[in-house]
Each structure stands twice: as C-alpha cells, then as structure tokens.
C-alpha cells in the first residue's frame, strides 16, 4: 500500500480532507490536475470577493461619498487593475495551500486521476502533468473533484469564452462590458451582476423561477430584488430562455415570460444556472459508483457504495458551497482514520455577497411550514439598529424562524451590510441546539449590527425592544 | 395564603412520589378539584383541593421522590391574597435529603439534627432498602460546611447533590434550582426531554464529550419523568406516572464484565423497589417450606357452570379463581392456625380471612385484598375481585385495598404452569400457589381414569405454621374444592 489516504481534487474540500487525514496520522497524497486550492481559491469564492470589494468601494466613493459628508472630485477605475488585484489575491492563497501541503507532509501528485478496481479501496492511476503515469494504492480514496458551471446546450446556453461567459471568464474579461445579461439569479449570478453594476454596467438578470435567489426565504428574495433594483439592476423573473444568439458585437437572448416573448441584447452574457459535478472520465462507471441525477450518492459519512471510496463537496450533491465541502472533507478523513462521529447533519449556512449581502441558515419560513411545524417568526429591520444607522447601512433586516412547540431555532435569514459575517452566530446556535431562551440570554455587544439578531429572536416571542 | 401539604395516604405513609400535577401556577381551584397525583409503593392516589383559591406556586415539581408527608407541595392564594415570593421549586425534597447527610456529618446544625435529620434517620432504619446510598461526594463533604454560617437553605443548596431524588438531576439552570451532578445536554435536548417526560440522567449522550443532543432524545423511550421542575409543561406530553430516576448505567454490571451500552436500563420505580426489598427479606429471613397436593376439580368446574347459570341474569360471572378464593377463606376458618402472622410478641391469629390475590400489572404485581372472604357471597366476591383487579392495573388502588391481608393466593394456571411455590407475603403465614387445571390420568381403585386435576402448593412460614397445620389446611382446601357443595355447610 502506497498511502493510507488519497484525495482526488485539491479544492476546499479536498485539501482540507488531506490536512485532517495527515493530522490523524494517515500517510496522505493529493491529486490535482490544475491549481492547488481548486475553483474556490483560484476561480471562485475568493477572487470574486476581491472584485466585489473593488466594486463596492468604487460605488461608495462615486455614489455615496456625499452621504458621509465627503466630497470626491473625480472617480474612476482601471478595470485591468481591478482584475489584477483579484488575481493577486488568488495567487496568494494558492501558494498558501502549497505551503499547507508541505507542512503536513502531504504528497502532491500533479496530474489527472482515474480510478480502477483495487483493494481495500479503488486504485488511483494518475496521468502526471509532467508526463508518464503513476498507479497508487491507498487504504481509502476521497473523491473531491468538484463541479463546474452548468450549461444548457439545448437552448444555446453554452459559454464560448468570448461573448458568453461562465464565472470563469467573467472573472478575467479583457474589457469591461457596458451592458450585460446574467442568466440565473443564484449567488454566483447575482454576485457578478452586483459587481458589474457597481462599476456602471447596465445589467439585466434573467431568472426562470418566480423570484430571484429561489433557495432563500421569500421575504429575503423580495427585499433583495428591491434593494438591487434601487441600485439600477433590472430583473426578468419567471422568464424562460428560449434561445441565445450572437449578433454584431453582442449577444441576444430570447425570453418567454407569461406568454410574453422578448429579446434582450447586451455586449456580454454570463451563464450562472447552476453547477454540474465533475464525474466524467474518473472511472466511476467501471467501478459501479452510484450516481443520481449527475451527483455521486453518499451516506451520512460521505461513503459511496464502493468500498473505501468517499465523495465530498460539489460532486456529492448541493449545496455547492466550499464550507460544505470542507466540512464533509474533515468528516470523511476522520471516518477513515477510525474516529467515531455521528453522521453529518449540521445546518449549512449560505452567503451571497451582493450589495446588500444575504445570508441564511436552516429552514425558510415556507419550508418550516411545509415540514408541518408550528412556527414563530421574528423580524428586525436594520433601520432600527444604531450601528447600522451610524454606518449608513440601514437597508435590510434579520428574520428568525422558531419551532413554536420546542423553541428550536429552525432558520435564520438576513439581508444587509456584512450579514455574511453574522450568520455564523445563528449557525452556532443551531449546532448547539439552542432554543429561544439561549438567544434571549446571550449578550449581544452594543453597538453592533448583530443586535438585530437578538431583537429578531425577541420579536418572534413578541418581546422586541427597539421597534 | 395556604400551603397545600403532602397528604398521608395511609397511617404508616411517611413519604411519597409526587407523580403528577394537574394544576399549574395561576390556575384557579375549588374544593374537590383533583390537583395532583401521589405515588406510594404500590398505588397512585389523586389529591383533591380542600380550599378554593388560585395556585400561587408549585413548590415540589412533578416526579419528585421522597416527598415527606405534611411538607408543603404547593401554595394557594385566597381571594385578594398577595403573591408569595417565588419559592425555590426543587428544593423541598432535596432539602430533606441533604439535611440527612448534614446531620450525619455534624451535630452542629441544630435544625438539621432536630428536625429532618432525626426523622430521616428513623426512616432509614425502618426502610433501609428504599434509598440508594449517598454518593461519594456527599460522604466526603467536610463537616465544617455543616457548621458554616450559611442559612440552612443555603447549605441545602451546597449539599444538594441529590442521592435518590430525581428532583434536580436535570441540572437546568433556568429555575435557579440547585444543580445536581451536572448533566451535559443541549438546551433543545433538555426541553424535548421535559416535554416527552424523559429523565436526562437515564440517557447516554452521543454528542461531543458525551453531551446529550436531540438525536439521543429522539431515540429514547419515554419512561422516567422530566427531572426539571416546570410550572406548566404542555399537558399533552406529560408523563402518566413518575417513577424515580436511575443512573444511565449499572455500575455493578460493569464490574462483572457487562459493558454499558449492551443493555437498556429501566429505572426502578417505587413498586419495583418494594418488590425487591420485601421479597428478598421474606425469602432470606423467613423459614419456609412448600406442601404439594393434586386436586380434582371436575366438580368445581361443574359447580361453576351452574352458579354462573344462576347468576347470568345479574351479569356476574364467577371465575375458578373466585371459587378458590372462597375455598381458601373457608379452609382458613376450618384451620384457623394457618390464618396467622408471626410477631416478636406472639402469634397473631386473625379473626377474618382477608385473602390477598396477586394481580400482574404493568411493571410489577400487586395484591388487592378480598376482606372477610369467608363471609361474602360468590357473586359479591367475584364483583369485588373484578373491580380490584381492574383498578390495580391502572394503579388506582387505595392503600387499604392492598395492605394488610392475612393470606395470599397466586394463580399462574392461565400460563399452563403445573406447579410452583410462591414467596411468602409477610407478615402472612401462608401463600397458596395454584397451577393449571388439566386432564390427567388418575387411579381410581385399581383402574386408570381421566380427571381434571390441578396442583397446588402451600408455602408456609414455619415460625407459625408447622408441617401438620399446613397439611391440614391443604386437606381442608382440597375438601372444599373437590366437593364444592360443602362450602355451603
């Protein structure tokens, strides 16, 4: 046996699993065909946050400076420099992962992996980037090959890398698009829409479902649309894309909404209609790995139906979030190392870094009702929060959903400034199985926007203080 | 302001379990309303309000064991009365227990030594098996703490690492109640346990560091009561009865090589403790012997048929067991030496045949008594027995209905048991074990014949019933059973 553990894919799920495995004394190797850190660090979460920050600062300078009593004579941006900053951030983190691998004595196999039958886990055949191949056998294999932007070729929703982009091209465009169409109003679509809008693009977001951010609570979706429209974004909800064509120098997308058809035109289009798992050419079919609707099927310990083979992150179902992947990675590594842990069940928070930001954990109000729960719902607007007023961030609110019978916090939803930094408070409460009583009893520091979390909890029990 | 006191359900009762509250603080009650259920060794009794008023505070939470007779269990506010300061809910019973410990450690605390301490000490002597021993940390409590300038109440709080009380084992900080051995459980798990009537101390946690989490509650079966006092839990989820708490694992088993987790531990309730204690004492301390006899019961069966035919219009159906109760009673009158109890002062020969009949119920058995069975008609006896058995199963017997019989009868015939010998139910001198009636070959003259035969065994306390007396009783009994008409004589 060459290794105790081989991890395929070095995204946030894979590299975290490798570190945890190494910490637990497993001789560990990681296979990566591209950059260490995967999409998240290199082409996803992190570089987009760099872009969004540039956009936000610019928008604040150009539009809101006067609100703060500041005067700015002239504002402008250097688009290539904005992109360059984002790339520098990605590069820094990428080399950080390399350092972590070295520190934990994890062997990095640069190449593309393919699985073959083996014992006690599938054999891993690595076609090395440097040429040649190497076959390694480990006690266990964790598949963490991630996902990529979903395309819908049937209606022409395929990226060409020139005028029709996925997140990948949208992150490093050669020129700034003055008009933009975004297909899909999930986190990825809206973040790019928010970014390009902050720099002045005319952006229209197309959503097939009836509301934007369809996975979020309905009230949050409505508030988000209102807030983004105020910033000049345009939306087409309940609009089905029927075709995409390139004409002249731009892109046309044909829509059908409530028996009204229209065609929207823009310089560029971004396709952000979801994620599909990277399950191809790994040898899953030969091994008989169970796959359902394009995602690998796993149990509560991330085990697939094949002995010794685990799957984590995007490849093993939604939500397609880095922190879900790394959480599963740690769990899988511990399971392989023989640590006894209950199956995964912690609620996974979701964050969208638009302006305003959106964050949530647990069930939406509608989901809780559908579960047959009797619920208590609390809300608190940031316009009644001192810190928010002082910061000029009065947009948005916090919403809590409690089980009326047990007091369990079953969901929390926020929209507003820096709410992505606050949602972990509710996530922690849920993981610790808190009830309303503990949220009431917790002291929230003043003045912070987090006080709205306290108030929203109190409000669910008609005990709100500051409205 | 009126205190509602723990009632005595029998003259000898010293303490009981507060099984269930039917009211909560703020409820209005009038005289005669059922406000609580009290569980003693063998029965659950309802407590009725004597006065009318508004419940100001529940002083002893549901599920509390060892509540002393005459200690306040709730406070009633009359019309226009002012609210009393909130009483510390969980402390009453524990106070008593920890005082017991304090009294044992030091005599400096006058109140502890004079009041509760003595009472408890007396009780412990009288009832050594009923309480689990104090934990090591209690024993190790330095005497100095008992003579510290704390008020007795504060001392109670300090020393309230409750022994057998389930009162505070939830360790919940909400009510400001003292925390017993700390139980690590998530807030939601605590609340669910309370709603489902589960005792957290009986659960094993699967969370980090053994913390009890929601999934542990979800798989647990309701049994032990919520350990945490609460004024008003949702009525729908309240536990029916309130057996006391038990440790999550039996230490004694682990030392014998049976690991925790390989079994489910059912907490000992009052009935189980009583059965264990009394029968151990009886079997160990009383010199006992069995006497066997086979009885032919064809005529008894025939008599039963005719009796039931006669009683049909009255809706009464006499069972074989009813006839055996009657026959036992008459045999006791025929051989009065067998209707006896041993006491240090002398042999008590009972005037009446009060026949206790073993009834299996959920979680144990109980022996309701047919008083003066020798004087009762079969129809009356049968009706009374049916009523007693039914109320025994719902644990609604009054103490005088199951305490104080002079003779016992236990019938396992319905299970096909041929013969067995019961353990004496002290202080009774005899207990009759009845096997199944079945067709067996019998020898008549020099020929074989078939008869319905039933084997019975009389277990005798040799201190009062010698072999010949016992044998005479069995003979008399056989006479009544095999020729039922003689019961009319």
Nearest to A348 by CA among A402, A295, A424: A424
Per-residue pLDDT of chain A (467 residues; tens, 9 = 90+): 899 999 999 999 999 999 999 999 999 999 999 999 999 999 999 999 999 999 999 999 999 999 999 999 999 999 999 999 999 999 999 999 999 999 999 999 999 999 999 999 999 999 999 999 999 999 999 999 999 999 899 888 999 989 999 999 999 999 999 999 999 999 999 999 999 999 999 999 999 999 999 999 999 999 999 999 999 999 999 999 999 999 888 999 999 988 889 999 999 999 999 999 999 999 999 999 999 999 999 999 999 999 999 999 999 989 999 999 999 999 999 999 998 777 888 899 999 999 999 999 999 999 999 999 999 999 999 999 999 999 999 999 999 999 999 999 999 999 999 999 999 999 999 999 999 999 999 999 999 999 999 999 999 999 999 98
Nearest by CB: B206 against A342, A407, A437: A342
CB within 8 Å: A433 and B189: yes
Around Cβ B200, how many Cβ atoms within 10 Å?
A: 28
> Residue A435: its chain B contacts at CB < 8 A?
187-188, 191
Looking at chain A, which residues constitute the CATH 3.30.390.30 domain(s)? 356-460
CB B356 within 8 Å of CB B400: no
Give just the sign of the alpha carbon dihedral B128, B130, B136, B138: negative
* SS3 of residue B35 by DSSP: strand
- pLDDT computed for residue A205 by the predictor: 98
Q: What angle do CA B3, B4, B7 make, to 5 degrees?
A: 140
Per-residue tokens: A19: 């570190």
Contact list, B209 vs chain A (CB under 8 Å): none
Q: Are B435 and B417 in contact (CB under 8 A)?
A: yes
H/E element, B103: helix B91-105
Catalogue all structural domains in chain B, each as residue range(s) with its CATH number: 2-87 (2.40.50.100), 92-269 (no CATH), 286-488 (3.30.559.10)
The Cα A225–Cα A207 span in angstroms is 12
Q: B120: which 2 tokens?
A: 């408890």
Q: CATH for A153-273, among 1.20.1440.230, 3.40.1260.10, 3.50.50.60, 3.30.420.40? A: 3.50.50.60
The angle subtended at Cα B128 by Cα B125 and Cα B132, nearest 5°, is 130
* Interface touch B195/A407, C-beta < 8 Å: no
Q: Is B215 on the interface with A (CB under 8 A)?
A: yes
Cα–Cα distance, B125 to A331 (Å, whole number): 56
Q: What is the pLDDT of residue B181?
A: 67
* H-only helix segments in A62-143: 79-103
CB contact under 8 A, A432 and B186: yes
Our CA dihedral for A450, A452, A457, A462, rounded to 10 degrees, sits at: 160
CA distance B160 to B94: 6
A437 and chain B: CB distance < 8 Å anywhere? yes
Work out the minimum CA distance from A301 to partner chain B, whole angstroms.
16
Can you say whether the dihedral through the CA atoms of A341, A345, A346, A352 is positive or negative? Answer: positive
Encoded tokens for B360: 């299996």
Residue listed under structure tokens 């397609």: A320
- Answer yes or no: are the C-beta atoms of B435 and B419 closer than 8 Å: yes
DSSP state for residue A66 in the 8-state scheme = G
Three-state secondary-structure class, residue A467: coil
- In this structure, what DSSP letter does residue B413 have? G
- Looking at the complex, does the CB of residue B175 fall below 8 Å from at least one CB of chain A? no
Q: For Cα atoms B14, B15, B17, give the angle at the middle one, nearest 5 degrees.
A: 160
Tokens of A153: 């070729």
Cβ within 8 Å, pair A342-B215: yes
What pLDDT score does B109 carry?
44
Give whole-number Cα distances, A363 to A159, A414, A432, B101, B293, in Å: 34, 13, 16, 51, 72
CATH number of A3-148+276-336: 3.50.50.60
- The CA distance from A251 to A263, in Å, is 10
DSSP conformational letter for B131: S
> How distant, in Å, are the alpha carbons of A377, A404, A418 from that of A459?
8, 13, 21
Give the nearest partner residue to A406 out of B174, B191, B207, using CB atoms.
Answer: B191
CA distances from B152 to A197, B15, B155, B177 (A): 72, 21, 5, 15
Tokens in use for B18? 């507060």
Phi-psi bin for B257: left (phi > 0), alpha (psi -120 to 50), beta?
A: left
Q: Using CA atoms, how far apart are residues A348 and A427, in angstroms rounded to an integer? A: 8
Strands, DSSP E only, in B11-128? Answer: 15-21, 28-29, 34-39, 44-48, 53-58, 64-68, 72-77
Residue A132: Cβ within 10 Å count: 9
Tens digit of each residue's pLDDT (9 = 90 or more) over B105-153: 344 444 444 444 444 444 444 444 444 444 444 434 343 333 333 333 4
A135 touching chain B per CB within 8 A: no
> CA dist A403 to A171, A461, B217, Å?
42, 11, 17
Beta partners for A243?
A254
Question: If you ran DSSP here, which 8-state letter would residue B457 be given?
Answer: E
Q: Residue A240: CA atoms inside 13 Å, Cβ hemisphere, count?
A: 8
- B129 in contact with A, Cβ within 8 Å: no
Residue A302: per-residue pLDDT = 96
Q: Tell me the CB-side half-sphere exposure of residue A397, using CA atoms within 13 A.
A: 21
All residue ranges of chain B with pLDDT < 70 are 10-12, 41-42, 78-181, 221-251
The dihedrals phi and psi of A162, each to the nearest 5 degrees, come to -115, -70
Q: Are B423 and B279 in contact (CB under 8 A)?
A: yes
Place of tokens 């709100």: A464
Instruction: Using alpha carbons, select from B92, B59, B68 the residue that is nearest to residue B15.
Output: B68
Give the Cα separation of B294 and B114 in Å (integer).
Answer: 59
Cβ of A433 and B206 within 8 Å? no
Q: Which A-chain residues 402-421 have CB contacts (< 8 A) with chain B?
A: 405-408
Whether residue B189 lies within 8 A of chain A, CB to CB, comes out as yes
Contact residues, A window 345-364, toward B, CB-based 8 Å cutoff: 345
Tokens, residue A35: 């950059």
- pLDDT value, residue B20: 83
Q: Which of A323, A413, A446, A454 is catalytic?
A: A446
Give the C-alpha separation, B213 to B203, whole Å.
10
| Residues of chain B positioned with their CB less than 8 A from the CB of A433 | 186-189, 213-214
- The reply to whether A285 touches chain B by the CB within 8 Å rule is no
User: B312 burial class (0-12, 13-18, 19+ CB within 10 angstroms)?
Assistant: exposed
> ipTM for the complex?
0.78
pLDDT of residue B51: 75
The CATH number assigned to the domain with range A356-460 reads 3.30.390.30
The residue to which tokens 């039931």 are assigned? B308
| Cis peptide preceding B279, ω within 30 of 0 | no
**Binary contact (A406, B186; C-beta < 8 A):** no
Give A345's contacts in chain B (Cβ within 8 Å).
Answer: 215
The CA-based angle A373-A379-A383, given to 5 degrees, is 170
**What span, in angstroms and rounded, lies between the C-alpha atoms of A317 and A299?**
11
* Overall size of chain B counted in residues: 489
Ranges for all domains in chain A classified under CATH 3.50.50.60? 3-148+276-336, 153-273
Distance CA A407, CA A400 (A): 11
Q: Which residues fall within 8 angstroms of residue A55, CB to CB, at 6 or more apart?
A: A82, A194, A195, A196, A197, A198, A199, A355
What does each C-alpha distance from A316 to A41, A42, A328, B395 come to in angstroms? 20, 21, 10, 55
Lookup: tokens for A322: 């880095």
pLDDT of residue B112: 41
């Amino acid at each position: 046996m060459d290794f105790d553990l081989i991890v395929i894919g070095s995204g946030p799920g894979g590299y975290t699993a490798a570190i945890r495995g190494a910490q637990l004394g497993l001789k560990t190797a990681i296979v990566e065909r591209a950059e260490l850190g995967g999409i998240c660090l290199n082409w996803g979460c992190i570089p987009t946050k760099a872009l969004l920050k540039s956009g936000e600062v610019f928008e604040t300078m150009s539009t809101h400076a006067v609100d703060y009593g500041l005067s700015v004579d002239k504002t402008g941006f250097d688009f290539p420099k904005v992109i360059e900053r984002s790339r520098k951030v990605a590069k820094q983190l990428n080399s950080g992962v390399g350092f972590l691998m070295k520190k934990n004595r994890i062997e990095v196999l640069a190449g593309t992996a393919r699985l073959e039958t083996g014992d006690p886990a599938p054999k891993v055949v690595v076609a090395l980037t440097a040429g040649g191949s190497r076959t390694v056998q480990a006690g266990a294999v964790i598949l963490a090959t991630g996902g990529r932007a979903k395309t819908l070729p049937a209606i022409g929703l395929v990226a060409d890398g020139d005028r029709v982009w996925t997140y990948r091209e949208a992150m490093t465009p050669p020129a700034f698009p003055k008009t933009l169409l975004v297909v899909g109003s999930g986190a990825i679509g809206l973040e790019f829409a928010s970014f390009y809008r902050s720099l002045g693009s005319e952006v229209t977001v197309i959503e097939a479902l009836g509301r934007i951010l369809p996975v979020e609570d309905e009230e949050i979706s409505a508030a988000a649309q209102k807030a983004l429209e105020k910033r000049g974004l345009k939306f087409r909800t309940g609009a089905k894309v029927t075709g995409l064509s390139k004409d002249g120098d731009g892109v046309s997308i044909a829509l059908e909404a409530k028996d009204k058809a229209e065609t929207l035109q823009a310089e560029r289009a971004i396709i952000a209609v979801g994620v599909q798992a990277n399950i191809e050419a790994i040898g899953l079919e030969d091994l008989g790995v169970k796959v359902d609707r394009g995602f690998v099927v796993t149990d509560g310990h991330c085990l697939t139906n094949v002995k010794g083979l685990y799957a984590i992150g995007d490849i093993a179902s939604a939500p397609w979030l880095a922190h879900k992947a790394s959480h599963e990675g740690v769990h899988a590594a511990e399971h392989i190392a023989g640590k006894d842990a209950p199956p995964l069940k912690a609620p996974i928070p979701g964050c969208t870094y638009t302006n305003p930001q959106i964050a949530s954990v647990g069930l939406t109000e509608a989901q809780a009702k559908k579960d047959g729960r009797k619920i208590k719902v609390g809300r608190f607007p940031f316009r009644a929060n001192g810190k928010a007023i002082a910061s000029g961030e009065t947009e948005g609110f916090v919403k809590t959903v409690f089980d009326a019978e047990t007091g369990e916090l079953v969901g929390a939803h926020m929209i507003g400034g820096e709410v992505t930094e606050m949602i972990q408070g509710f996530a922690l409460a849920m993981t610790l199985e808190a009830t309303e009583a503990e949220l009431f009893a917790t002291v929230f520091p003043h003045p912070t926007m987090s006080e709205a979390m306290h108030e929203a909890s109190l409000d669910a029990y008609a005990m709100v203080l500051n409205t | 302001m009126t205190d509602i006191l723990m009632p005595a359900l029998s003259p000898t009762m010293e303490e009981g379990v507060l099984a269930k509250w039917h009211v909560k603080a703020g409820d209005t009650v009038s005289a005669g309303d059922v406000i609580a259920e009290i569980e003693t060794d063998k029965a659950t009794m309802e407590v009725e309000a004597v006065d009318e008023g508004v419940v100001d505070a529940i002083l002893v939470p549901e599920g509390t064991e060892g509540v002393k007779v005459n200690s306040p269990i709730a406070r009633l506010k009359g019309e226009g009365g002012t609210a009393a300061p909130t009483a510390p809910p969980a402390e009453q019973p524990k106070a008593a227990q920890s005082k017991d410990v304090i009294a044992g450690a030091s005599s400096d605390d006058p109140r502890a030594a004079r009041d509760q301490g003595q009472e408890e000490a007396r009780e412990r002597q009288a009832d050594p098996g009923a309480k689990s021993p104090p934990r090591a940390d209690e024993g190790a409590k330095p005497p100095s703490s008992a003579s510290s300038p704390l008020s007795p109440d504060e001392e109670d709080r300090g020393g309230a690492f409750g022994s057998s009380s389930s009162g505070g084992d939830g360790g919940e900080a909400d009510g400001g109640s003292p925390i017993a051995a700390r139980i690590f459980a998530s807030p939601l798990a605590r609340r669910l346990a309370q709603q489902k009537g589960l005792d957290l101390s009986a659960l094993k946690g699967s969370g980090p560091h053994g913390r009890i989490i929601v999934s542990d509650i979800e798989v647990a079966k309701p049994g032990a009561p919520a350990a945490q006092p609460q004024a008003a839990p949702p009525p729908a989820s309240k536990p029916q009865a309130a057996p006391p708490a038990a440790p999550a694992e039996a230490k004694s088993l682990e030392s014998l090589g049976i690991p925790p987790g390989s079994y489910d531990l059912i907490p000992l309730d009052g009935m189980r403790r009583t059965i264990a204690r009394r029968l151990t004492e009886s079997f160990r301390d009383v010199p006992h012997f069995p006497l066997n006899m086979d009885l032919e019961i064809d005529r008894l069966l025939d008599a039963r048929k005719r009796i039931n035919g006669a009683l049909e219009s009255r809706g009464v159906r006499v069972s074989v067991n009813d006839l055996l109760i009657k026959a036992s009673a008459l045999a006791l009158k025929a051989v009065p030496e067998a209707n006896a109890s041993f006491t240090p002062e002398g042999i008590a020969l009972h005037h009446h045949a009060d026949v206790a009949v073993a009834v299996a119920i959920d979680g144990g058995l109980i022996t309701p008594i047919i008083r003066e069975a020798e004087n009762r008609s079969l129809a009356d006896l049968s009706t009374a027995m049916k009523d007693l058995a039914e109320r025994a199963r719902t644990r609604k017997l009054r103490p005088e209905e199951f305490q104080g019989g002079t003779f016992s009868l236990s019938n396992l015939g319905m299970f096909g048991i041929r013969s067995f010998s019961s353990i004496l139910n002290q202080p009774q001198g005899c207990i009759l074990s009845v096997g199944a009636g079945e067709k067996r070959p019998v020898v008549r003259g020099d020929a074989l014949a078939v008869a319905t035969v039933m084997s019975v065994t009389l277990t005798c306390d040799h201190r009062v019933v010698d072999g010949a007396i016992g044998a005479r009783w069995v003979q008399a009994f056989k006479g009544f059973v095999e020729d039922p008409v003689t019961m009319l004589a």
